[in-house]
Amino acid sequence: MLQFLFKRLLTFVPTFIGVTIISFAFIRLLPGDPILLLAGERGVAPERYAELAAQFGFDQPIWRQYLDYLGGIFQGDLGISFTTKRPVLDEFFTLFPATLELSLCAITLAVIIGIPAGVIAAVNRGKFFDQALMTTALTGYSMPIFWWALLLIIVFSSGLGWTPVSGRMSLMYFFDTPTGFMLIDSLLSGQEGAFRSAVAHLILPTVVLATIPLAVIARQTRSAMLEVLGEDYVRTARAKGLSPLRVNGLHALRNAMIPVVTVIGLSVGTLLAGAILTETIFSWPGIGKWMVDSIFRRDYQVVQGGLLLIATIVMAVNLLVDVLYGMINPKIRK
């Protein structure tokens, strides 16, 4: 197991270097000069342009800029945002807990509902529940997030008044956020009703963000289960007279979980991508919107730093999935 882990970690290194190159190159390949964009219609005189370029290091040869960036990474310095003039790392860690909290809630919801739904559909293959579930999953998968979110807001917030329209916390509460996770900070604040408000604010964005992964997980679980249910050992278990719950829940599900765990791991990337739209609509102060704004402004440091951090997180999660995988299926460790 240790050797397996070590091998996996080794592949991390070239991938990480690759990510630094891609994140560095990506934003620079987009046409658009940040200084000209900053100046807008007002324009900038050539002397002033040169001054600014020198100040931001844009006058250096490109390889030099890359080496500076790489050097910074190893010192834990991702540079200063061109727009807010604040360190990229500070900004990231201010905003990331919001994205993480939302993503964790969404993936939890997707797993809790998706897996049982997939199992039940597989067991009842071709029956009404199966068909209804798969149709719903397909709808969920194809739904434009933007439209879905607005629909939920119009019905549940404006219409029924059950949930707040947007944000993370009711404006009537005001407290420090040491962890950045509103569920935890609201409890720590000791203010009555704050936790309930945090939960209420999480409901709609969680549902919206969970929709696609839920659909994917349910479909994946169903097809993996169908495959496993046809195996000899399942038939043997049934023949031995084991209860259907034991056959399906223990013998079949455990083996069906391997592709499902992979899908869950891959969903992390999807969640972070889906978070961009969800965060914008629900005014959720996370990294999604921060990245999009920065791309439009050609804020090089934020885009390259943010991409690097997100990619590192996705890589770490996938590493974890690989390890889990090894635990579920010993064959893979070899």
Partner 1 sequence: MKKWTGLGAAAAVTALMGTAASAQTLVYCSEGSPEGFDPALYTSGTTFDASSRNVYNRLVEFERGTTTTVPGLAESWEVSEDGLEYTFNLRDDVQFQDTEFFTPTRNMNADDVIFSFMRQLDPEHPYHTVSGGTWEYFNGMSMPDLIESIEKVDDHTVKFTLTRPEAPMIANLAMDFASILSKEYADQMMEAGTPEMLNQRPVGTGPFEFVGYQKDAVIRYNQNEDYFRGAAPIENLIFAITPDASVRYQKLQAGECHVMPYPNPADLQAMELDENVNLLQQEGLNVGYLAYNTQVEPFDDPNVRKALNMAIDKQAIIDVVFQGAGTAAKNPLPPTIWGYNEQIKDDPYDPDQARQLLEEAGVEDLSMEIWAMPVQRPYNPNARRMAELLQEDFAKVGVDAEIVSYEWGEYLDRSKDVDREGAVLLGWTGDNGDPDNFLAVLLGCDAVGGSNRAQWCYEPFNDLIMEAKTVSDREQRIELYEEAQRIFKEQAPWATIAHSIVFEPIRPEVQDYKIDPFGGHQFYGVSLAE
Binding-site ranges for partner 1 (CB under 8 A): 31-34, 36-45, 48, 52, 55, 80, 82-86, 91, 94-95, 150, 153-154, 157-158, 161, 164-169, 171-177, 191, 280-283, 285-286, 289-290, 293, 298
Distance (Å, whole) CA 100 – CA 229: 36
Distance (Å, whole) CA 311 – CA 223: 29
Q: Which residues pair with 87 in a beta bridge?
A: 80
C-beta closer to partner 1: residue 85 or 331: 85
Give Cβ neighbours of residue 328 (< 8 Å, ≥ 6 apart).
254, 257, 258, 261
Q: Is there a contact between 287 and 97 (Cβ–Cβ < 8 Å)?
A: no
C-beta closer to partner 1: residue 5 or 292: 292
Least distance (Å) from partner 1 to the CB of residue 275?
13
Least distance (Å) from partner 1 to the CB of residue 148?
13
C-beta closer to partner 1: residue 149 or 260: 149
For the record, the structure tokens of 224 come out as: 């993996």
Least distance (Å) from partner 1 to the CB of residue 33?
4
Query: In 3D, which of 249, 160, 259, 256 has the Cα closest to residue 203?
Result: 160
Alpha helix ranges (H) inside 173-252: 182-189, 194-229, 232-239, 244-246
Q: What is the DSSP letter of 59?
A: T
Least distance (Å) from partner 1 to the CB of residue 22?
21
Least distance (Å) from partner 1 to the CB of residue 58?
13
C-beta closer to partner 1: residue 17 or 187: 187
C-beta closer to partner 1: residue 94 or 136: 94
